Amino acid sequence: LHPGKSLYRVLLDSVTLSDESVKFQIIHEKNKILLQVEIYEIEGNIFRLKIDEASPLRPRYKVPDVLIKEPTTQRLFISHREAGILVLSSVNEDYKLQITANPFQVELQSKGETVMSMNSNGLLYFEHLQSPPSDRYTQNEEAASDSSKEKQEDLGLWQEKFGSFLDIKAHGPTSVGVDFSLHGYDHVYGIPQRTETLLLKNTSDGDAYRLYNLDIFGHKIHDKIGIYGSVPLLLAHKPSRTSGIFWLNSSETLVDISTKAVHTPSRSAAEIAKQRAVPLTDVRWMSESGIIDVFLLMGPTAFDIFKQFAQLTGTQALPPLFSLGYHQCRWNYEDEQDVKAVDAGFDAHDIPYDVIWLDIEHTDGKRYFTWDKQKFQNPRKMQEHLKKKKRKLVVIVDPHIKVDPSYTLYAQAKEKGYFVKDRNGKDFEGICWPGSSCYLDFTNPEVRKWYADQFAFKTYKASTNILFVWNDMNEPSVFKEAELTMQKDAVHYNNWEHREVHNLYGFYQQMATAEGLIRRSSGKERPFVLARSFFAGSQKYGAVWTGDNTAEWSYLQISIPMLLTINMTGISFCGADVGGFIGDPEPELLVRWYQAGAYQPFFRGHSNMESKRREPWLFGEKNTQLIRRAIRERYVLLPYLYTLFYRAHAAAEPVMRALWIEFPGEVETFDVENEYMLGKQVSYSLEFEIPVFQRGGTVIPLKTTAGKSTEWMIDISYELHVALDKEACAIGELYVDDGHSFQYLHKKQFLYRKFTFHKNVLSSSLVKLEILQIDTNTKSLERAKPIRETKKINWEIRK
């Protein structure tokens, strides 16, 4: 489809208003199919547009569970009506929606200025549900060899072949799409995940950006293909405003972007003289199925966008403090002796660390929730040893389940019907690490509850309260299938095809896992779950990372824009494998990667089975010293980092920020991706030898020294670093709680102080957090009230 006049027209006599929304129908001039349009204004400068068939043959898929609640709406009213035009105004008179009837178009204006318009290029399309071709030959797979041209064309809509793979669309083609024009914008960001620059590029001469979660080993740099996760949120920024588009659809989605200069018609000679081209960015969204359900986030600042998105999908879960320490991982630490030796190595070399990780080889034949009886003969004792050292263990738990009737987990899930089915109603079987595997259907709430119960201490044998979880391969990854993932015609709970829910699969596994860890502690302890696949809202359940990167300089460089993009779409707790997962980094690259990782939200060293061992002390004394210093700097910085995570949790402020977010009026920052800010106060640059700077006018809380792990540091004093601005003033904050429980929420047990340096006096006061704190686990909203807590604080002022 190319831009042109839309074939849809509004039926103006169908307009109805209610307290919740404005509804009307549009008709396709050729096929006469009616679509129902619903427009909502949501509190806090958000508009929602939904388009569905007026009377579909069967309900179309609508994404559940991503929005934390049904959003609170405000009444829209008709403020102006003339031939073929309807103007809707909101209680907040700044905004107006102008609806043009023929062709159908919606324009969103703020204080008389057009910010965004929908369908202005006439690219709205909506493949309506139809009965299968009359003679039912689509159900006969041999029909693919039928040579009659007409049948082939008809069939092409109902089934597709990819090499030897056949995808049969049970309900036929159901794609949807529409275009948006962003007026005055030529900088757009977001729509992770891909190995790509911070600024999204024009796609007019190449592939569209793709949102489709896939297991792509050693993903290529500067590729528009989607990798492990998808957040269908796009941000547009210009010096005067930031806007956002959140496209709520979990099927395969393509995004086309075209930026051009538009000359505005001028009214006078004087205006013509100073007329300049105004940028315009067209963004076209296309999804394989579902309905059109889109949220227009009006900002007007980037921080308003972050709050608006969090209001819809939730904020970042507050991580347990240990998970902000350093994590040591490898595929694989061989056995209990290896784990003990690596743990002892950190102490011997005076390098802090908090968590050691076990990949798939720790299990009994890749049966998750089990232990290899030879290599891990006494896992409980191993965990007791780590616990005495005040450290934690993370184990891998993937979504594929080995087909083995003697494996309790498989037998139970099989009997209860908890696996995803193939199109013929049998359990879908695919190949993954254990060999032949079935895949749990996490879209089913009953399966999620049962799965969460598997983490109970009595059920998960030899697990203890220092064991936490890593969900990998949850795109889902299926070896030997098209694109290494599940067939689109596999069938989930409530008979939905996999194509409808694909991008939600990992989101649901992480949700169930986090719930399981909370439940095993009777709701007292915060979970830690790292997941490879994610969607909008995954921030409520834990952390994500950038997957199977490579030990090359270019992957260190691209990790920064990748993480900045994930942060600006709601997920602050993210990181990249330090050193690169694939291959062997040269020592200087490894050192540099530690220095970068120490200033990123999730900090984990990880390597592939084929890689040489790379514990931090294996590269000679000089490099050991440099890595030790980087990791110790991370531990000293934890009070500041933990405070940032509290602000992410309570106020939806990203931990790691692109420079333009902090300097929205400075155009030269809009494409910077080799520098970034940690909060408002610390900037990191990949270009300098000493890459960390403190912003003038800030106070940063630190620990006076690092300990062996976060738990060893509880009684270490704090110090404040004060960097004065031109007026010799500075402000900063410190948030402290017990670091592991939900007491901060349920019992309001935390300390939150603001530090002010003014007229040569440093003072400390209580922070009154006026914002609502979202408890994303119980979905309740509670106001935060701090309690008094005393800690020794060293007041150190550095001018």
Give the pLDDT of residue 779.
38
Tokens of 301: 């600042």
- Find, among 645, 42, 544, the residue nearest to 312 by Cα: 42
Enumerate the β-bridge partners of residue 683: 677, 693
User: Residue 106's beta-bridge partner residues?
Assistant: 99, 118
The whole-number pLDDT of residue 787 equals 33
Please tell me the predicted confidence (pLDDT) of residue 136.
Answer: 44
* Span 448-469, pLDDT tens digits: 999 999 999 999 999 999 999 9
pLDDT at site 792: 36
Residue 797 pLDDT:
38
**pLDDT average, residue stretch 333-340:** 98
Kindly give, in sequence order, each residue whose CB lies less than 8 Å from that of residue 33, ignoring residues fewer than 6 positions away: 27, 53, 126, 128
Whether 32 shows a pLDDT value over 60: the answer reads yes
Residue 618 predicted with pLDDT over 50: yes
How large is the angle between the packed helices 553-568 and 587-597, nearest 10 degrees? Answer: 10
What value does the mean pLDDT take over residues 358-364?
98
pLDDT at 151 over 90: no
pLDDT in tens, 59-88: 999 999 999 999 999 999 999 999 999 999
- 480-494, 582-596, 680-694: least confident range: 680-694
pLDDT in tens, 706-745: 999 999 999 999 999 999 999 999 999 999 999 999 999 9
Helix, strand, coil tally for the chain in percent (to 5): 25, 30, 45
Strand pairing partners for 675? 685
- For position 155, what pLDDT does the model report? 65
| Cα–Cα distance for residue pair 486/506, rounded to 1 Å | 12
Average pLDDT, the chain: 92
Spatial CB neighbours of 505, under 8 Å, sequence gap ≥ 6: 213, 399, 442, 443, 474, 475, 476, 486, 533
**Both structure tokens of 601:** 């939200």
Domain architecture of the chain: domains with CATH: 8-129+170-263+277-313 (2.60.40.1760), 321-397+445-471+501-656 (3.20.20.80), 674-796 (2.60.40)
Residue that wins the pLDDT comparison between 613 and 771: 613
3-class SS of residue 92: coil
More confident residue, 539 or 276: 539
Is the predicted pLDDT of residue 162 greater than 90, yes or no?
no
Q: What is the mean pLDDT of residues 477-482?
A: 96
In this prediction, residue 611 carries a pLDDT of 98
pLDDT given at position 728: 97
Position 166 scores a pLDDT of 93
Question: Among 407-416, 455-464, 516-525, 788-797, whose mean pLDDT is lowest?
Answer: 788-797
pTM, 2 dp: 0.94
Average pLDDT of the residues in 337-349: 98
Which helix (H) or strand (E) segment holds residue 235: the answer is strand 233-238
Of 525, 539, 522, the residue nearest 745 (C-alpha): 525
Give the separation between CA 249 and CA 288, rounded to whole angstroms.
9
Structure confidence at residue 590 (pLDDT): 98
**Percent above pLDDT 70 for the chain:** 91
Instruction: Specify the amino acid at residue 650.
Output: A
Q: What is the mean pLDDT of residues 154-164?
A: 82
Q: Is it the case that residue 772 has pLDDT exceeding 50?
A: no
522 pLDDT band (50/70/90 cuts)?
Answer: very high
Tokens of 376: 């891990």
Cα 576–chain centre separation: 14
pLDDT reported for residue 244: 98
Residue 274 has pLDDT above 70, yes or no: no
* Spatial CA neighbour of 659 closest among 644, 646, 645, 671: 671
* pLDDT tens digits for range 662-693: 999 999 999 999 999 999 999 999 887 868 99
Give catalytic residue positions: 472, 475, 548
